């Protein structure tokens, strides 16, 4: 056991093999009662020493839809005090020279996940202080009727980073050398923080995994979504009425709304959300999120922040292969995706993709559009607009489900160098290459420590991309024939 003093009081953590961990440490007061739809407030100080031995409560959420729930790790621990974080640090760093800090923002489409799914031991083992955080999800974090404080989930992330700034030195971390990184909604959050004025100065480097700066809806779209949500829930269209509803009904209405968006992705119904199928996401409110993040970044927001971005080769297959629906997708579906996802010439895009994938099903073609439109192209746009950005692509393919390939979220256990645990085995299988995990984990740490992950930065001439696979190496402009269809 070991103890550290925070701004709210002492916390007691555990030490195993030279790594000290502190779990479930509150960075904000419980967002319940009058605080339900307000900006995060500091936690109440405590007397004595608070045990930080186990992961804390998680944000209210439902389950991942089947059969994806069998592949993606998730833990739900109900309770009010869920604005908490976890810290892993080399034991010798406490009271010693400050180490670089890495802050992980979890994914889950802004409705699932928690910082308590992940174990930062490998990062601390290799010399950095690792932090994972929670934030408000779904209705609690992103529902907005046009009144009150928007983007509460993003404000929670900023509050967690402020806690890191104020407290991490006591854990052996350097508050001036913080790297934020996240995957999926966590990657989208990372890009949003790059564009958020309130997050300026809270981090010096960022890694966007399978995310991008293209996710944020207009105020009008947010109100459309919120009003439809209230109708599904059967309450008046305001936050007070939503807060008074049964907690399980709130989650059930979230799922029903998501199903409606997926079934009828029409702009007249959902506005911006029709293009990305995420009814709960940041809203462009003009202050917290002043504009579309990728536009703000292109205009110079966080130009002094080091950046690494990337995606997986078959992101979209996670949403089709596990259900076995890919071979059943009719030919018109790729055309719909090409149009709604922003291809410059949808019909020509389908024809060109078909030319290079003549042996694949229409479902595989749809998954390729999802991969490039929602993940790869946004990552490359960030790299093109932010000089000195490093780009990667993860290509190792999972053997677990036929056609799963290098799907969405598959790279996470490699980044964490955590292939041995049962947590990820359903996705990776029992024989995933440990050498690849070691190489990726090292690149992420090298970037956090030095700003250089070990390969050339991306530019318009070479488009250097580190391809991670059983044999990894730098490639120049992988699949240019696909990339060009999504350029803006």
d(CA 441, CA 130): 13
User: Is 315 an annotated catalytic residue?
Assistant: yes
Q: Where are the beta strands (DSSP E) in 189-246?
A: 205-209
Spot the catalytic one: 114, 184, 302, 311. Answer: 184
d(CA 477, CA 470): 20
Residues in the chain: 488
d(CA 450, CA 100): 9
C-beta separation of 280 from 143 below 8 A? yes
Spot the catalytic one: 91, 183, 281, 315. Answer: 315
Q: For residue 294, what are the contacts with CB-CB under 8 A and spacing of at least 6?
A: 191, 195, 212, 213, 214, 378, 381, 382, 385
d(CA 222, CA 227): 9
At residue 274's C-alpha, the angle toward residues 273 and 277, to 5°, is 70
Q: Which of 23, 44, 47, 17 is nearest to 171 (CA)?
A: 23
For 268, the token pair is 């007249």
C-beta separation of 56 from 76 below 8 A? no
Q: For residue 342, what are the contacts with CB-CB under 8 A and spacing of at least 6?
A: 275, 373, 486, 488
Q: Which of 268, 267, 285, 284 is nearest to 276 (CA)?
A: 267
Angle between helices 247-263 and 219-233 in degrees, nearest 10: 120
C-beta separation of 394 from 309 below 8 A? no
Q: Which of 61, 58, 60, 50 is nearest to 22 (CA)?
A: 50
C-beta separation of 15 from 91 below 8 A? yes
d(CA 193, CA 450): 21
Spot the catalytic one: 408, 411, 472, 485. Answer: 408
For 420, the token pair is 């041995």
Helix%, strand%, coil% for the chain, nearest 5? 40, 15, 45
For 93, the token pair is 């760093």
C-beta separation of 104 from 181 below 8 A? yes
Angle between helices 332-340 and 346-356 in degrees, nearest 10: 120
Q: Which of 108, 120, 118 is nearest to 153 (CA)?
A: 108
CA of residue 361 relative to chain centroid, distance = 29
Q: Which residues are catalytic?
A: 184, 315, 408
């Amino acid at each position: 056991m070991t103890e550290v003093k925070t701004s709210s009081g002492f916390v007691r953590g555990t030490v195993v093999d030279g790594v000290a961990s502190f779990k479930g440490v509150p960075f904000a007061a419980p967002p319940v009662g009058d605080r339900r739809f307000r900006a995060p407030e500091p936690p109440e100080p405590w007397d004595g020493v608070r045990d930080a031995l186990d992961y804390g409560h998680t944000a209210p959420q439902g389950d991942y839809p089947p059969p994806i729930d069998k592949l993606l790790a998730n833990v739900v621990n109900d309770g009010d005090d869920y604005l908490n974080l976890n810290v892993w640090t080399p034991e010798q760093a406490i009271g010693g020279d400050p180490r670089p800090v890495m802050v992980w923002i979890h994914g889950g489409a802004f409705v699932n996940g928690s910082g308590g799914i992940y174990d930062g031991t490998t990062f601390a083992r290799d010399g950095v202080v690792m932090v994972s955080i929670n934030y408000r999800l779904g209705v609690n974090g992103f529902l907005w009727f046009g009144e009150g404080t928007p983007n509460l989930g993003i404000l929670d992330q900023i509050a967690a980073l402020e806690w890191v700034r104020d407290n991490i030195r006591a854990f052996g971390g350097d508050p001036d050398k913080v790297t934020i990184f996240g995957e999926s909604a966590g990657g989208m959050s990372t890009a949003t923080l790059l564009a958020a004025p309130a997050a300026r100065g809270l981090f010096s480097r960022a890694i966007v995994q399978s995310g991008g700066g293209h996710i944020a809806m207009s105020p009008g779209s947010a109100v459309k979504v919120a009003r439809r949500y209230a109708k599904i829930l059967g309450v008046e269209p305001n936050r007070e009425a939503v807060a008074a509803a049964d907690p399980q009904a709130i989650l059930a209405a979230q799922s029903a709304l998501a199903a409606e968006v997926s079934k009828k992705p029409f702009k007249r119904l959902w506005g911006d959300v029709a293009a990305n199928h995420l009814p709960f996401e940041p809203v462009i409110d003009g202050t917290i999120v002043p504009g579309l993040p990728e536009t703000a970044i292109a205009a110079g927001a966080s130009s002094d922040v080091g950046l690494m971005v990337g995606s997986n080769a078959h992101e979209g297959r996670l949403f089709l292969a596990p259900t076995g629906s890919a071979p059943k997708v009719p030919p018109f579906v790729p055309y719909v995706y090409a149009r709604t996802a922003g291809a410059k010439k949808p019909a020509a895009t389908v024809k060109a993709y078909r030319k290079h994938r003549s042996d694949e099903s229409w479902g595989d073609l749809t998954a390729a559009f999802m991969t490039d439109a929602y993940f790869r192209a946004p990552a490359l746009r960030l790299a093109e607009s932010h000089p000195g950005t490093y780009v990667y692509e993860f290509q190792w393919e999972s053997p677990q489900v036929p056609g799963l390939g290098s799907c969405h979220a598959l790279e996470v256990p490699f980044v964490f160098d955590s292939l041995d645990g049962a947590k990820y085995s359903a996705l990776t299988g029992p024989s995933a290459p440990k050498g690849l995990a070691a190489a990726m984990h090292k690149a992420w740490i090298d970037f956090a420590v030095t700003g250089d992950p070990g390969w050339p930065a991306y530019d318009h001439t070479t488009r250097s991309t580190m391809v991670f696979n059983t044999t990894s190496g730098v490639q120049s402009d992988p699949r240019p024939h696909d990339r060009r269809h999504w350029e803006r």
